[in-house]
Amino acid sequence: MKVRLFKGATMQDLNTEFIQRVRETHGGERYVITTHGCQMNEHDSEKIKTLLDTMGLIETDDEEQADFSIINTCSVRHSAEDKVIGHIGRLKHVKKTNKKLKVAVCGCMMQRKESRDYVLETFPHVNIVFGTNNIYRLPQLILENDDRNTRIVDIEESYSNLDNRIFSEVKGNSAYVNIIYGCNNFCTYCIVPYTRGREISRSPEDIIEEIQALVADGVNEVTLLGQNVNSYGNTLEEKTSFADLLRRVHEIEGIERIQFTTSHPKDMSDDLISCYGELPKLANFLHLPVQAGSNRVLKAMNRHYTREDYFLLIDKLRAVRPDIALSTDIMVGFPGETEEDFEDTLDLVRRVRYDSAFTFIYSRREGTRADRMENQVPKEVKDARFQRLLDEIYRIQREKYEALIGTEQDVLFDSRSKNDETMMSGRTNGFKLVHVPYEEDSIGKIRKVKIVGGNTFSLRGEIVHGNK
């Protein structure tokens, strides 16, 4: 594994002296990382893994035998925090038999003071606590914990560009690249602006340099990450829009497919939509969270668009790319949601006909405005509506997948199938999962595949030999 240095960084920035000292004292020890939450958290865990590998530690999946257990937390929903709390609690018993175990807790929960204080007061067996903005300091925090033999808490409230100078050596052909941090939207149900902070965009030069380095390591597909990629560039001195950035990434030789997540509908510009007509490398797929189909609920959520605005965006997108695949986020049971509101959501789902959707039952999140709202929807009502929503989404999704049987699709293969080593898996340009018989020389490449079968969640295919 390598720790890369981008322009303007120094060896001291990345604490290479501390990295070497940790290697001398902990080299050969084992670590396990558990990641809760979104792609941003997954990418943060990749940075942590890169640092630990560089310090000579060895990854394991056996937490009971590990010397370090790092828990990267999510606080977007109360249920996510409950899972983290349960995990930390279980490690107390592991530590009784494994005296060497050091427990580090990081991520969004630790950026939130109430959650951080609860962990610190409840779990004395936690050794190190750090946040989303200072991953680069992990080597130093490990040494401080060694030297002082006491708990180390290190939280930075504002984002540091130094973290972007660390990323993983690639094991495969795909990579995440952060382009913007934080969020300015303050949706009434969401805690992210309080944990990830306000929006700040990375410079396009740093992003391009990182992607070029990833290409040199074998990457040909990148996913650009942010809480709201559509507002990229607003904090830059030299005005650069997200559409401008996409065009620059598209020019990078070696990149064959570009994706991004997540988009906010209120910031989906006509210029960005036009990229789907201009840029062949831009995947035929868009994740565009709608959250609800009722204007009354959307207003209560502070989403700043109406269902009519959303339908207009879909019409514009399909005018540019008629077969674009769409996914979304939908929340059921937001405070005050009536049966009529929910029927509006079902109507929107039927009209847009999503290829896939991430669906959630609203859960109260302390610190958000929605938590203080009246007319909280009873659990049994939320559960029943959630099942009705799933039934509708899965019906449409199944129809979409079945319609592809007999067609030929360009599929980018990235790995063996997790459940069957005789098969390999990849994604179509519309982000649909495809399984075909394993061929070693197809991993990391785009192949033409004839779709021969499928179900609600994946497709089966055969490579059309002689084509790429």
Report how far residue 249's alpha carbon sits from residue 239's, in angstroms, rounded to the nearest whole number.
17
Q: Indicate the length of the chain as a whole number.
A: 468
Q: Which strand (E) or helix (H) includes residue 42?
A: helix 39-54
**Residue 259, φ and ψ in degrees, nearest 5:** -130, 170
Cβ pair 71, 77 in contact under 8 A: no
- 106 assigned ligand-binding residue: no
- 275 assigned ligand-binding residue: no
Coil vs helix vs strand at 177? strand
Report how far residue 114's alpha carbon sits from residue 99's, in angstroms, rounded to the nearest whole number.
29
Report how far residue 316's alpha carbon sits from residue 320's, in angstroms, rounded to the nearest whole number.
7
Coil vs helix vs strand at 216? helix
Contacts of 449 (CB under 8 A, 6+ apart): 408, 409, 410, 411, 426, 434, 436, 461, 462, 463, 464
- DSSP string covering 224-239: EE-TTGGGTTTT-SS-
Cβ pair 128, 149 in contact under 8 A: no
Residue among 80, 87, 140, 136 at smallest CA distance from 112? 80
Residue among 415, 101, 428 at smallest CA distance from 284? 428
User: Which residue's structure tokens are 């020389």?
Assistant: 441
Q: How far apart, in Å, are the Cα atoms of 197 and each of 27, 115, 211, 263?
A: 35, 16, 25, 18
Residue ranges of the binding site? 38, 74, 108, 183, 187, 190
Going by the annotation, the residues of the binding site for [4Fe-4S] cluster are: 38, 74, 108, 183, 187, 190
